[in-house]
């Protein structure tokens, strides 16, 4: 049983640089929480404060209700996994795994038993007599994780443990990790800059930007209901299309202008939430999977005309970049749909926008003032990809 709580944490380094301010979140018992954010956001600093390797300038860290803010790292009973380089090169795999247990003065039989269980789960039982230099990258990584798991710690802290692995191995480790977390029922705080890792492995994500918490939510909610422009554009691959939008009154309703093109807004979408004023500046966002390709000759509401700017074929899907109204809009299609359109750069083409799936952000603050309205909020995310034209109805 372990519950971690971070309250109003701030860190100013010597020299006056404030790396963190007002960081608050908790990790429930047996929960996997991911700290996600761009390089320099303050993820590792947060983890180091939790580990006790740095002291906070302000705020409190509690484990199971006890304030551990001033405790020494080893008194906190946390296990930290860095990358594979944290293994001792002059020790065998067995010795590397036994090291933290010997430090804790456990008996030999107990050490062997714990190592047996962990190495079986991590599938490295065959490698116990090897040295780190005799292992592959993935094997080294698993041993590094194993060294944390043998500890039976309160909370496991992981700092980008699989980011150095190649793409295929990373994909396998993501799956193994989920299984491990379930088997060990471990409370985990995991740092990553990779949204795919966080989206696929986290119970909840704490999104950090410039030393502040941007949003805390389960992966699907963060993707569907981003509270800020930063959250909307950081999560999702390919990234959300964002353009300057002017609000217009048209045909008894409201619309958005995208250059000379007009997008009629959905009445329910418009009416639900805080008032939107035509006098304020907004940014409109739409995910590439909520834009549909159309023939160059298409007419009707919410059709925007442009030309093919670039095409990326990804096997199971195709991304069209379309130059239109002074901007480039990305459209994510299935391969079947994408094949029906010319990939030739400069060819006239059009796209349709699903108006109820538009996000609207206040230009000045980046705050979300309208969320896309999904009729079926379940089951869209699959590596940040929804089927083309996914109007979930
Ligand atoms: P990355 O993904 O690149 O590791 P991060 O989100 O983990 O980034 P941190 O390592 O926490 O970022 O760093 C946050 C900020 O604090 C950065 O601007 C960094 O330069 C600064 N920083 C980190 N450690 C120190 C230090 N000891 N002294 C001064 N500034 C520091």
Which of 205, 230, 255 is the endpoint of a domain?
A: 230
Query: Token pair for residue 270?
Result: 């418009």
pLDDT digits (tens, 9 = 90+) for 198-214: 999 999 999 999 999 99
Q: How far apart are CA 332 and CA 208, in angstroms?
A: 27
In this structure, the answer to whether residues 143 and 240 fall within a common structural domain is no
Q: Identify whether residues 293 and 169 lie together within a single domain.
A: no
Do 235 and 177 lie in a common domain?
Answer: no
**In CATH, what number is assigned to the domain containing residue 137?**
3.40.50.300
Same domain, 178 and 197: yes
pLDDT at 289: 93
Assess whether 167 and 240 both reside in one domain: no
Examine residue 167 and state whether it is found in any structural domain, yes or no.
Answer: yes
Kindly state whether residues 116 and 255 are assigned to the same domain: no
Nearest CA to ligand 1 atom 25: 13
294 lies in some domain: yes
pLDDT of residue 327: 92
- 146 shares its domain with 238: no
**Per the domain annotation, does 182 fall within a domain?**
yes
Residue 56 in contact with ligand 1 by CB distance below 6 A: no
Note whether residue 386 is domain-resident. no
Question: How many domains is the chain built from?
Answer: 2
Enter the pTM of the model: 0.88
Host domain of residue 19: 4-230
Q: Are residues 200 and 319 in the same domain?
A: no
The bridge status of strand 241-250 relative to strand 253-258 is antiparallel
The answer to whether residue 160 sits within a structural domain is yes
List of residues 6+ apart from 6 with CB closer than 8 A: 23, 24, 25, 26, 46, 50, 59, 60, 61
Whether residue 141 is contained in a domain is answered as yes
pLDDT score recorded for residue 273: 83
Residues 263 and 220 occupy one common structural domain: no
User: How far, in Å, from the CA of 42 to the mean position of ligand 1?
Assistant: 6
State the closest ligand 1 atom to the C-alpha of 37, by its place in the atom list counted from 1.
Answer: 6
Q: Do 170 and 244 fall into the same domain?
A: no
Mean pLDDT, 10 residues at a time, over the chain (393 residues)?
92 94 96 95 95 94 94 89 78 94 89 89 89 89 86 87 79 80 84 91 96 96 96 95 86 82 85 84 94 93 94 94 95 94 96 93 95 66 38 36
Give residue for tokens 């990939």: 343
Give the pLDDT of residue 142. Answer: 85
Q: Is 235 exposed, middle or buried (0-12, 13-18, 19+ CB in 10 A)?
A: buried
Q: Which of 45, 198, 209 to mutate to test the pocket of ligand 1 (most atoms within 8 A of CB)?
A: 45
Query: Is residue 192 assigned to a domain?
Result: yes
Q: Which pLDDT tens digit goes with each residue over 81-98?
A: 876 567 899 999 999 999
Name the residue with tokens 């009629």: 264
Instruction: Name the residue of 9, 19, 82 to mutate for ligand 1: max ligand atoms within 8 A of Cβ.
Output: 19
- Omega before 238 within 30 of 0, i.e. cis: yes
Query: Which atom of ligand 1 is the closest one to the Cα of 35?
Result: 6
343 lines ligand 1 (CB under 6 A): no
Asked, for residue 379, whether it belongs to a domain, the answer is no
State whether 136 and 40 are in the same domain.
Answer: yes
* Angle between helix 108-121 and 93-103 (nearest 10): 130
Which residues does 173 contact at the CB level (< 8 Å), separation at least 6? 138, 141, 142, 162, 165
């Amino acid at each position: 049983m372990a519950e971690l709580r971070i309250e109003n944490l701030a860190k100013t380094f010597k020299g006056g640089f404030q790396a963190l301010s007002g960081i608050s979140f908790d990790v429930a018992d047996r929960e996997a929480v991911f700290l996600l954010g761009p390089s320099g956001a303050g993820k590792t600093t947060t983890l180091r404060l939790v580990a006790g390797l740095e002291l906070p300038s302000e705020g409190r860290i509690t484990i199971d209700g006890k304030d551990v803010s001033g405790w020494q790292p080893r008194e906190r009973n946390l296990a930290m996994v860095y990358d594979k380089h944290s293994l001792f090169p002059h020790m065998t795999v067995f010795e590397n795994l036994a090291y933290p247990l010997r430090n804790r003065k456990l008996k030999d039989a107990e050490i062997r038993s714990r190592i047996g269980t962990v190495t079986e789960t991590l599938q490295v039982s065959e490698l116990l007599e090897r040295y780190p230099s005799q292992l592959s990258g993935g094997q080294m990584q698993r041993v590094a994780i194993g060294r944390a798991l043998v500890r039976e710690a309160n909370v496991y802290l992981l700092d980008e443990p699989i980011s150095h692995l190649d793409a295929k191995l990373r994909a396998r480790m993501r799956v193994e990790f989920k299984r491990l977390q379930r088997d060990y029922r471990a409370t985990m705080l995991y740092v990553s800059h990779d949204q795919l890792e966080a989206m696929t492995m986290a119970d909840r994500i704490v999104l950090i930007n410039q030393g502040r918490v941007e949003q805390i939510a389960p992966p699907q909610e963060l993707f569907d209901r981003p509270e800020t422009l930063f959250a909307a554009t950081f999560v999702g691959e390919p990234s959300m299309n964002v353009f300057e939008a002017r609000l217009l009154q048209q045909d008894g309703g409201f619309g958005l202008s995208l250059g000379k093109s007009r997008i009629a807004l959905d009445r329910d979408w418009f009416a639900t939430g805080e008032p939107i004023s035509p006098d304020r500046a907004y940014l409109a966002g739409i995910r590439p999977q909520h834009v549909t390709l159309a023939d160059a000759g298409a007419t009707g509401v919410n059709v925007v005309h442009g030309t093919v700017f670039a095409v990326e074929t990804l096997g199971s899907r195709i991304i069209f970049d379309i130059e239109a109204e002074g901007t480039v809009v990305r459209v994510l299609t299935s391969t079947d749909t994408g094949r029906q359109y010319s990939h030739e750069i400069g060819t006239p083409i059009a796209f349709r926008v699903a108006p109820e799936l538009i996000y609207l952000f206040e230009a000045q603050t980046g705050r979300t003032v309208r969320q896309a309205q999904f009729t079926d909020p379940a089951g869209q995310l699959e590596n940040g990809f929804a089927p083309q034209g996914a109007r979930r109805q």
